[in-house]
Structure 1
């Protein structure tokens, strides 16, 4: 069977009209402030894309380019500014533990990326709600959520299985373990029942929920595996390596694999289409849709 190439625009279209309709019904439009404090060309590209797509949806966007030494004060000011509905910081800023501190400085009521410690705790414990009445959902990070939406769109999620087990029986590799995307994505997939090989430059971890454990529990296990040991076992391979020099060897891929790339560069070789059943070359437009949804959700919570 020939490979089906699924573009992010196709998946994002499922959300675009819903978002535009909701925004058009509001006299006050939510406003997102983005802070760019690095010279990463991919962050700049994401900022430009954010601006374009938010405007198309009728949402307000203001990009503030600031020295990273001023970023803490700028975040604090935006936290208390009633005209600001959401805050987005383009990472990496320092590319070390200081970035986590910045993430925790963002007021959870304005954190569109869901990277604050409050949302991190919810994500890793698989607690989807902020309140006991379950009326307010926690905010999930945009790119991991975008990958989940892509997998759901292409049929990887099996909704005939019980909630929390929609990925039962699936083995998935995530080639990236950043705190912003790769690690939370592995946790989300494990929380939904998958066995996840989280592949980093130094090691491979297994994220998996014990079938006998609570739906809110998944474990992380250290292994001595190498990529060539685990990639051939995987039904889905998800890549997110921010380097043009990295390519996932097609020879390692299982025939019929689902291949998804969320990096800003192509991580799969052109031959991937000869092996995979479905290939998703990027998720960027879905990420922007999730950003818009998170902004609207926070705006509604603030009313």
Structure 2
């Protein structure tokens, strides 16, 4: 009888996140001693249970990381102009080091307009066009959290990234495309697949590592994976009351060498990366203010 026990090693995202959080807490303590206690402000619009859950999760992780956290909620009928004004006020407040825009937003509020309104030095989510664009130049100061987290997970594995054949399934502006650029910056050879790709399986089966970020449960199956490959599942879907990824877990686990579970994989590392961005942003702002207001001799 053939042994059907999973061969893939499950990647413990919670353990990776805990390591990052310990480093962040030490950095936050140092900044606090220097008079720059890292502080995040969360902006929610309307009454949305999903956003409330994210806020509570972020607040808990912020406390663990030694980062101050303030949640602000505004009525659903708040206009775009009012919200942009609120963000401009936060941009100008030196006591605020990072701004998080909670989603979903009301239909009359385009998320990209708010992301553009956040100052790049306070863009801890890495969603500002400048933050996304910097990745092309391999400048990872404040990268998009989910993309950075997924790549950080891969870097913990005993794989030589230089020359690694990688397939990214999904080409969104804030996950798929940044992952591709991040991996190219590390020396990997990257293929990006999307809804117009003729044969996704042809590319994924030839890859040493596969990132999946589409939002379609069970999209990637075991016959699409090269034996021993690393599979980073970034998808989050609700199926029959359960949270699942984009990977058909049972079949892929029989083939892959490493696999992130959903939940417990990329998610915890994403939140830890958000906190890491908070302390990075704080240090960048500290340097900016010192340079801007440094005493000069005339």
TM-score for the superposition, normalised by structure 2: 0.79
- Specify the alignment match of 2:137 in structure 1: 125
Asked if structure 1 preserves the Cα contact closer than 8 Å seen for 2:125 and 2:143, the reply is: yes
- Specify the alignment match of 2:247 in structure 1: 268
- Specify the alignment match of 2:278 in structure 1: 295
Among candidates 158, 161, 167, match of residue 162 of structure 2 = 167
Q: Which runs of 5+ in 1 are unaligned?
A: 129-136, 159-165, 205-224
SS state of the match for residue 228, structure 2?
A: coil
Q: Which runs of 5+ in 2 are unaligned?
A: 1-5, 237-243, 287-298
SS state of the match for residue 172, structure 1?
A: strand
- Specify the alignment match of 2:10 in structure 1: 5
Q: As a proportion of its length, which structure holds more helix?
A: 2
Instruction: Choose between structure 1 and 2 for higher RCO, CA contacts under 8 A separated by at least 6 residues.
Output: 2
- Specify the alignment match of 1:104 in structure 2: 116
Over residues 35-86 of structure 1, what are the superposed CA-to-partner deviations in whole Å (9 max), with x where a residue is unaligned?
2337776554433221111011221112223336343232222112222111
- More divergent stretch after superposition (246-255 vs 63-72): 63-72
- More divergent stretch after superposition (185-194 vs 16-25): 16-25
Among candidates 73, 90, 95, match of residue 85 of structure 2 = 73
- Specify the alignment match of 1:250 in structure 2: 222
Larger Rg: 2
1:140 paired to 2:143: yes
- More divergent stretch after superposition (283-292 vs 17-26): 17-26
- Specify the alignment match of 2:260 in structure 1: 280
Aligned residues: 263
SS state of the match for residue 198, structure 1?
A: strand
Over residues 214-272 of structure 1, what are the superposed CA-to-partner deviations in whole Å (9 max), with x where a residue is unaligned?
xxxxxxxxxxx3213222112111112334x4431222211112111122332222222
1:235 paired to 2:208: yes
CA distance in 2, matches of 1:57, 1:103: 24
SS state of the match for residue 79, structure 2?
A: helix
Deviation of the 1:109 alpha carbon: 1.5
1:150 and 1:43, CA in 2 relative to 1: closer, same or farther beyond 3 A? farther
1:87 paired to 2:60: no
Deviation of the 1:91 alpha carbon: 4.4
Asked if structure 1 preserves the Cα contact closer than 8 Å seen for 2:166 and 2:208, the reply is: yes
- Specify the alignment match of 1:195 in structure 2: 189
1:60 paired to 2:63: no
- Specify the alignment match of 1:210 in structure 2: none
- Specify the alignment match of 2:295 in structure 1: none
Cα RMSD after superposing both structures: 2.6
- Specify the alignment match of 2:3 in structure 1: none
